[in-house]
């Protein structure tokens, strides 16, 4: 990246103050996840060690976010939960992209029977409500974080396939693709060099926003008892366990819930601005 | 010019099927190109001129098999290419390149100028790619500093130069120039026209120059074909067409060009009434009869044959027959 | 001849993402009553924004200063409400792409009646009658079919005629035509230009014709202003301009265009149009000018009368009338 482009991105971010905030939140989240053992006041409790003497304490100087039904420090568990959430976000979206993008490129570029087959498969997947599909797969595969990630990715990829197929169809009609064909460039190289780089921007934007949704859906799975299993600290799981205590011990489900909310919003804010940064009319060299 | 023509087009046809209504089974055809024939000698420029919907661009694209022809034959250096298997045609296709109206859309916006020009060279296993790219850039009047730029960082004229440099890289013999200057400003248009003309002199390129701008056509082409509704109405040398136009359509087209000289203002000119009919429902007989000021009964009924009014000057008009 | 519109020292800047673009750099021009004034120039020379400035239809990041005197009033000092009275009623505009100025979802009838009723306080019946009259005036005699059509069912030439009809509905004193025929075929271009000239004779309005095509200028205009990078570099009677161009840019343009009557060698202008974010100092044309002198790099030349109906902004003519050697 050239210096002037970094300046350009900075300018866009400064102008869109909200997305700058989103970016700061995400960076903060990553730092939190990386340095959780040092940041959390009670790392052992975050990993699951009970502390029954102090159960369901309200927020105080000792426990900023209060404690849960086993007396564990909610702040520590929220900090550790960032790890799970980020892993889920990155894993689900990248897995979805890994399956969805090649299929979409193939369908869009080849057209004909290949296109029809791939698109009918995506139709089948898309005809289920995504959470229901993830739920079904999760039930089939069994509990656990890995299975939850796979379940979500499987319900996720068709969106990317559709998105990139549409882009591929319009880009393959562009004169520069026509020229590449006439110059004897192979189809694979045309897809890799001409179609993919020009088709990927909206998918990246979508992917960024989806990281938020992936966290949300993984939380939903945890909430329903299918994702991460106790005593691992996970936001969704904490909300699920805390929901029964909401009326009397509001802090228990509220803080992890807020964490989910803020993270989802942050990813969406950044995604919106990414659209502007990646806009081909402004500059097309971030990839 | 009795040598083997570089390109021979015989009765070329391209029909596009369209459905009249969403669920109707009846398929109609848009006869975009309907029986076009001409030859091109090496080193020659033939201009295909016509209004929107005349089929000039479709003709160019069908010759390159960007559209598969519905009928007719195209010979490139004596070899029939329309029925050739794609794999075999690919090699010949390298010798036939196209330059587009909108230069920006013909360059991948995410590739540097260097990579754009180098891509086909790498494919051909050329050594010292950067040197070769620099040489090609200099051939089209660009410099080393342009090599690392991206298409959106250079002007439209420079983009068109890059597109030409890329085509030069594969040593083509035949170029289809599809309105190569109509998206450019007048001062830049002249630069590109001169460049194309010089390259032709140096390398004996053959051009099929597709344009609606008769002033440019007069400047660059050796021969001109006037198209109307998918058919060539008149074809001849540039002098024959501009100095001695025979077809009423050609005459009116020539009179419609705005001339950059206010002294011409006072001359009373014929204004062509109406607009080009839909190629979906072309008129019977001579396709031009609905707008022709000289139309007679026969024009509505019978399609005229080509009449050779002079050597190499063909006109598709009943009146020309009468004159002869 | 009385002056209808006079633009004095018009400056226009756009604050953009990349910095300030100095789009108009002190434009001066006068349009007389009953004349066709052509504004020629290449992409980005400022010819279209000049017309948008007249109507004050500029985006919010524009900074406009100077004077635009129209029928004795400075348009830049009018309130938005007063300006709405001017737009459409006194000054009408037609654009290159008529499709973009017509709403694709409504029949021509609805759109024309709406526009007519907007200013004339008449009922629908009368508005419809007026619409039919206007269509006949622009040589669309099949009024019933046209009125019942949607924009996409009509050809480009017909749509441009409808735009002209709508522009005429208030008998404006100035018609601004921004590249009205650029998207049309030559035979249709001829029809439209002839129509504008005919209507001008009939309704006595002035035309500001904005175009890049010197052929169109030669055939339709009475006087011409040549624009380059936000400046008017030369203004003259059309015959004078083509026979006796003074500014090196005008000369360059004329040498660069092919003539359909014969093959002449083309002499392209070297270089490219400068960026308006960082325009050259002094005369903005100097980097491309073959006659540039040291002063051209420092001082901006003023538009100075060369002869009775010919003014030029070039240091080569600043002190006395002398030819370029």
Q: Which residues of B157-179 are buried (b: 16+ CB within 10 A; e: fewer)?
A: bbbbbbbbbbbbbbebbbbbbbb
Is residue B109 in some structural domain? no
* Closest residue to A198, CB basis, from B91, B108, B170: B108
Inter-chain contact B253–C187, Cβ cutoff 8 Å? yes
* pLDDT tens track for B57-102: 999 999 999 999 999 999 999 999 999 998 899 889 999 999 999 9
CB contact burial B266-278 (16+ within 10 A = b; e otherwise): eeebeebeebbbe
Judged against a pLDDT cut of 90, whether residue B245 lies above it is answered with yes
Complete DSSP assignment for A235-279: HHHHHHHHGGGTTT-THHHHHHHHHHHHHHHHHHHHHHHHHHHT-
Give the pLDDT band (50/70/90) at residue A106: very high
Give the closest-approach CA distance of C123 to chain B in angstroms.
Answer: 33
List chain B residues with CB under 8 Å of A280. 109
Q: Which domain holds residue B296?
A: 7-95+172-323
Residue A51 contacts residue A85 (beta carbons within 8 Å) = no
pLDDT higher than 60, residue A226: yes
Would residue B114 count as lying in a domain?
A: no
For A86-112, b/e burial (b = at least 16 CB within 10 A) is bebbebbbebbbebbbbbbbbbbbeee
- Candidates B275, B277, B293, partner chain C, best to mutate (most C CBs within 10 A): B275
Measured between CA atoms, the residue of chain B closest to residue A194 is B108
The helix or strand, by DSSP H or E, that contains position C81, with its residue range, turns out to be helix C80-86
Nearest by CB to residue B190, choosing from C191, C219, C268, is C268
Round to whole Å and give the CA distance between C266 and C279: 27
Distance CA C24, CA C12 (A): 5
Q: Which residues contact B31 (CB under 8 A, 6 or more apart)?
A: B13, B15, B229, B230, B279, B282
Cα distance between residue C62 and residue C22, in whole Å: 10
In a domain, B18, yes or no: yes
CB contact under 8 A, A280 and B66: no
Min Cα distance B322 → chain C (Å) is 26
B137 located within any domain: no
First-last CA distance in chain C: 35
Lowest mean pLDDT among A59-68, B45-54, C40-49, C63-72: A59-68
For CA atoms A237, A241, A247, A251, the dihedral sign is negative
- Predicted confidence band of residue B2 (pLDDT cuts 50, 70, 90): low
| Predicted local distance difference test score (pLDDT) of residue B215 | 92
Tokens describing residue C130: 């007026």
CA dihedral A48, A50, A54, A60 (to 10 degrees): -10
Cβ-based contacts of C263 with chain B (< 8 Å): 218-219, 238
Beta carbons of A120 and A158 less than 8 angstroms apart: no
Q: At what angle do helices A74-110 and A112-126 cross, to 10 degrees?
A: 150
Reference C222, options C247, C202, C242; nearest CA is C242
Touching partners of B (3+ C-beta pairs < 8 Å): A, C
Q: What is the pLDDT of residue A108?
A: 94
ipTM > 0.95 for the complex: no
If pLDDT is split at 50, 70 and 90, which confidence band does A243 have?
Answer: confident
CB contact under 8 A, B52 and C185: yes
What separation in angstroms does the CA of B19 have from each of A173, B16, B30, B55, C73? 22, 10, 10, 20, 57
Q: Residue B225 — left, alpha, or beta (φ > 0 → left; ψ -120 to 50 → alpha)? A: beta
Greatest pairwise CA separation for chain C in angstroms: 67
Number of domains making up chain B: 1
Residue B226 is part of a domain; what is its CATH number?
A: 3.40.50.300
- Which pLDDT belongs to residue A231? 78
Spatial separation of the C-alpha atoms in residues B208 and B191, rounded to whole Å: 19
C-alpha A231/C-alpha C158 separation (Å) is: 74
Please report the pLDDT score of residue A3 as a whole number. 67
> For B148-185, what is each residue's pLDDT tens digit?
998 988 889 999 999 999 999 999 999 999 999 988 88
pLDDT value at position A155? Answer: 87
CB contact under 8 A, A182 and B64: yes
A186: closest chain B residue by CA? B123
Give A-chain residues touching B119 at CB under 8 angstroms.
Answer: 180, 183, 185, 193
Interaxial angle between packed helices C186-203 and C156-167, expressed in degrees from 0 to 180 and rounded to the nearest 10 = 10
Statement: residue A284 has pLDDT above 50? no
Alpha carbons A121 and A166: distance in angstroms, whole number: 16
> What does the alpha-carbon distance between residue A243 and residue A223 come to, in Å, rounded to a whole number?
10
From first to last of its 325 residues, chain C has per-residue pLDDT tens of: 689 999 999 999 998 777 788 999 999 999 999 999 999 998 888 999 999 999 998 888 889 999 999 988 999 999 998 998 888 789 999 988 877 788 888 999 999 998 888 877 888 888 999 999 999 989 888 888 999 999 888 888 899 999 999 888 888 999 999 999 988 888 889 889 999 999 999 999 999 999 999 999 999 999 999 999 999 999 999 999 999 999 999 999 999 999 988 888 898 888 888 888 889 999 999 999 999 889 999 999 999 888 888 999 999 886 554 444 4
- Cβ pair B156, B107 in contact under 8 A: no
Cα separation of A192 and A105, whole Å? Answer: 9
Tell me the pLDDT band of B321, cut-offs 50, 70 and 90. low
Domain architecture of chain A: domains with CATH: 3-277 (1.10.3720.10)
Peptide linkage before C98 cis (omega within 30 of 0): no
**Are B49 and B217 contacting, i.e. CB atoms less than 8 angstroms apart?**
yes
Q: Would residue B142 count as lying in a domain?
A: no
For residue B108, give Cα distances in angstroms to A174, A284, B124, B146: 9, 10, 20, 15
Reading across the β-sheet that carries B206-211, which strands appear in turn? B96-99, B174-178, B206-211, B45-49, B223-228, B231-237, B313-316, B306-310
Q: How confident is the model at residue B22 (pLDDT cuts 50, 70, 90)?
A: low
Domain membership flag for residue B100: no
Residues of chain C found within 8 Å of residue B288, distances taken between Cβ atoms: none
Contact residues, chain B, for A283 at CB < 8 Å: 152
What's the pTM value of the predicted model, to 2 decimals?
0.86
Q: What CA–CA distance (Å, rounded) separates B170 from B122?
A: 11
Interchain proximity C263–B218, CB inside 8 Å: yes
Contact (CB, 8 A) for B271 and B257: no
CA distance B256 to chain A (A): 31
Nearest CA distance, C251 vs chain B (angstrom): 11
Q: Which residue has the higher pLDDT, A5 or B185?
A: B185
C231-237 and C223-228: which strand pairing? antiparallel
Residue B323 clears pLDDT 70, i.e. is over it = no
Measured CA to CA in angstroms, residue A217 lies from A29, A138, A202, B316, C300 at distances of 18, 12, 22, 71, 65
Q: Who among A175, A185, A283 is closest to B119 (CB)?
A: A185
Q: How many residues does the structure list for chain A?
A: 287
Nearest to C75 by CA among C94, C97, C90, C96: C90
Query: Which of A218-232, B302-316, C30-44 has the least mean pLDDT?
Result: A218-232
Residue A33 has pLDDT above 50, yes or no: yes
Contact B59, B78 (CB under 8 A): no
What is d(CA A175, CA A198) in angstroms, rounded to the nearest whole number? 13
Q: What share of chain C is helix, strand, coil (3-state, %, to 5)?
A: 40, 25, 35
Instruction: Answer yes or no: are the C-beta atoms of C128 and C160 closer than 8 Å.
Output: no
Sheet holding B71-76, edge to edge: B27-40, B7-19, B71-76, B79-80
CB of B105 within 8 A of CB of A174? yes
E strands in chain C:
3-16, 19-32, 36-40, 62-70, 73-74, 91-94, 174-178, 206-211, 223-228, 231-237, 304-307, 310-312
Q: Least CA distance to B153: which residue of chain C?
A: C275
The distance of B92 to chain A (nearest Cα, Å) reads: 10
Which residues touch C188 (CB under 8 Å, ≥6 apart)? B51, B275, C155, C156, C157, C181
Chain B residues whose beta carbon lies within 8 Å of the beta carbon of residue A192: none
Domain for residue B31, yes or no?
yes
| Residue among B91, B93, B109, B168 with most chain A CBs within 10 A, to mutate | B109
Bridge-partner residues for B307, per DSSP?
Answer: B315
Q: Which residue has the tokens 């000018």?
A: C289
Q: Please state, as a whole number, how many other Cβ atoms lie within 10 Å of the Cβ of residue A35.
A: 11
User: Which of B242, B265, B272 is facing C187, going by the closest CB pair?
Assistant: B272
Question: Can you tell me the mean pLDDT for A2-12?
Answer: 72
Assigned domain for B125 exists = no
Residue A10 confidence (pLDDT) above 80: no
Helix (H, G, I), strand (E, B) or coil at C263: coil
The dihedral formed by the CA atoms of B291, B295, B296 and B302, expressed in degrees to the nearest 10: -70
Contacts of B276 (CB under 8 A, 6+ apart): B51, B52, B53, B54, B228, B229, C185
Q: How far is B177 from chain A (nearest CA, A)?
A: 13
The burial of B143, by beta-carbon neighbours within 10 Å (0-12 exposed, 13-18 middle, 19 or more buried), is given as: exposed
In chain A, which among 190-219 make CB contacts under 8 A with chain B? 193-194, 197-198
CB-CB neighbours of A262 under 10 Å: 15
């Amino acid at each position: 990246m050239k210096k002037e482009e970094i300046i350009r991105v900075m300018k866009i971010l400064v102008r869109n103050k909200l997305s700058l905030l989103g970016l700061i939140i995400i960076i903060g989240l990553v730092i939190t996840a990386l340095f959780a053992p040092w940041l959390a006041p009670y790392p052992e409790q975050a990993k699951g060690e009970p502390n029954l003497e102090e159960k369901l304490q309200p927020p105080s100087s000792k426990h900023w976010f209060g404690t849960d039904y086993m007396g564990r420090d909610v702040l520590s568990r929220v900090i550790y939960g960032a790890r799970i959430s980020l892993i889920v976000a990155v894993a689900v979206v990248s897995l979805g992209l890994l399956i969805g993008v090649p299929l979409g490129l193939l369908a869009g570029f080849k057209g004909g029977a290949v296109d029809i087959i791939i698109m009918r498969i995506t139709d089948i997947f898309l005809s289920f409500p995504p959470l229901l599909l993830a739920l079904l797969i999760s039930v089939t595969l069994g509990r656990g974080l890995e299975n939850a990630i796979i379940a979500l990715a499987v319900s996720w990829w068709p969106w990317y396939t559709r998105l990139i197929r549409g882009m591929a169809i319009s880009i393959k009609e562009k004169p520069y693709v026509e020229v590449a064909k006439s110059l004897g460039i192979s189809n694979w190289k045309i897809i890799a060099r001409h179609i993919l780089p020009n088709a990927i921007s909206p998918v990246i934007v979508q992917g960024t926003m989806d990281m938020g949704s992936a966290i949300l859906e993984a939380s939903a799975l945890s909430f329903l008892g299918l994702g991460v299993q106790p005593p691992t600290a996970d936001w969704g799981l904490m909300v699920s366990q805390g929901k029964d205590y909401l009326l009397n011990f509001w802090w228990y489900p509220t803080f992890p819930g807020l964490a989910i909310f803020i993270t989802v919003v942050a990813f969406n804010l950044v995604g919106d601005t990414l659209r502007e940064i990646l806009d081909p009319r402004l500059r097309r060299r971030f990839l | 010019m009795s040598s083997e023509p570089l390109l021979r087009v015989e009765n070329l046809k391209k029909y596009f099927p369209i459905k009249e209504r969403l669920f109707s089974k009846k398929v109609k055809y848009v006869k975009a190109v309907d029986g076009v024939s001409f030859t091109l000698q090496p080193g020659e420029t033939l201009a295909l001129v016509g209004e929107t919907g005349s089929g000039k661009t479709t003709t160019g694209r069908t010759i390159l098999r960007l559209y598969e022809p519905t009928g007719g034959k195209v010979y490139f250096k004596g070899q029939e290419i329309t029925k050739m298997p794609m794999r075999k045609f690919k090699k010949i296709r390298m010798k036939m390149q196209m330059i587009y109206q909108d230069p920006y859309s013909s360059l991948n916006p995410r590739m540097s100028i260097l990579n754009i020009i180098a891509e086909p060279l790498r494919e051909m296993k050329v050594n010292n790619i950067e040197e070769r790219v620099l040489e090609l850039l200099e051939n089209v009047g660009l410099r080393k500093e342009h090599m690392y730029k991206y298409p959106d960082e250079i002007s439209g004229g420079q983009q068109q130069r890059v597109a030409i440099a890329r085509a030069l890289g594969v040593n083509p013999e035949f170029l289809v120039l599809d309105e190569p200057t109509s998206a450019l400003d007048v001062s830049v248009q002249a630069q590109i026209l001169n460049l194309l003309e010089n390259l032709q002199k140096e390398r004996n390129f053959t051009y099929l120059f597709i344009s609606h701008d008769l002033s440019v056509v007069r400047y660059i082409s050796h021969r001109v074909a006037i198209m109307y509704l998918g058919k060539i109405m008149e074809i001849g040398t540039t002098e024959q067409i501009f100095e001695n136009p025979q077809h009423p359509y050609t005459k009116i087209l020539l009179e419609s060009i705005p001339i950059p000289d206010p002294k011409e203002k006072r001359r009373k000119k014929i204004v062509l009434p109406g607009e080009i009919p839909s190629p979906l429902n072309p008129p019977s007989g001579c396709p031009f009869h609905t707008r022709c000021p000289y139309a007679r009964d026969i024009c509505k009924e019978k399609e005229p044959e080509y009449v050779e009014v002079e050597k190499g000057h063909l006109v598709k008009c009943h009146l020309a027959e009468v004159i002869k | 001849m009385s002056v209808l519109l006079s633009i004095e020292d018009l400056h226009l800047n756009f604050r953009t993402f990349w910095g300030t673009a100095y789009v108009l750099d002190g434009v001066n021009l006068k349009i007389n009553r009953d004349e066709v004034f052509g504004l020629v120039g290449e992409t980005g020379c400022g010819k279209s924004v000049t017309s948008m400035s007249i109507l004050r239809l500029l985006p919010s990041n524009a900074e406009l200063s100077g004077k635009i005197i129209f029928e004795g009033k400075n348009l830049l000092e009018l309130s938005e409400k007063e300006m709405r009275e001017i737009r459409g009623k006194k000054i009408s505009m037609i654009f290159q792409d008529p499709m973009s100025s017509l709403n694709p979802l409504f029949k021509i009838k609805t759109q024309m009646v709406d526009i007519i009723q907007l200013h004339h306080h008449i009922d629908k019946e009368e508005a419809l009658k007026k619409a039919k009259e206007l269509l006949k005036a622009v040589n669309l005699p099949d009024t019933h079919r046209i009125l019942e059509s949607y924009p996409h069912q009509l050809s480009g030439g017909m749509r441009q005629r409808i735009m002209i009809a709508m522009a005429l509905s208030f008998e404006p004193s100035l018609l601004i035509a921004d590249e009205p025929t650029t998207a049309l075929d030559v035979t249709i271009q001829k029809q439209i230009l002839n129509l504008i000239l005919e209507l001008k004779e009939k309704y006595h309005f002035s035309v500001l014709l904005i175009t890049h095509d010197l052929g169109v200028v030669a055939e339709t205009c009475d006087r011409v202003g040549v624009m380059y990078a936000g400046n008017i570099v030369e203004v003259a009677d059309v015959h004078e301009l083509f026979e006796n161009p003074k500014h090196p840019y005008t000369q360059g343009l004329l040498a660069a265009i092919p003539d359909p009557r014969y093959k002449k060698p083309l002499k392209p202008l070297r270089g490219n149009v400068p960026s308006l974010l960082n325009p050259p100092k002094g005369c903005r044309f100097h980097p491309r000018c073959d006659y540039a002198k040291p002063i051209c790099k420092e001082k901006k030349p003023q538009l100075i009368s060369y002869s009775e109906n010919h003014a030029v902004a070039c240091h080569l003519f600043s002190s006395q009338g002398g030819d370029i050697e």
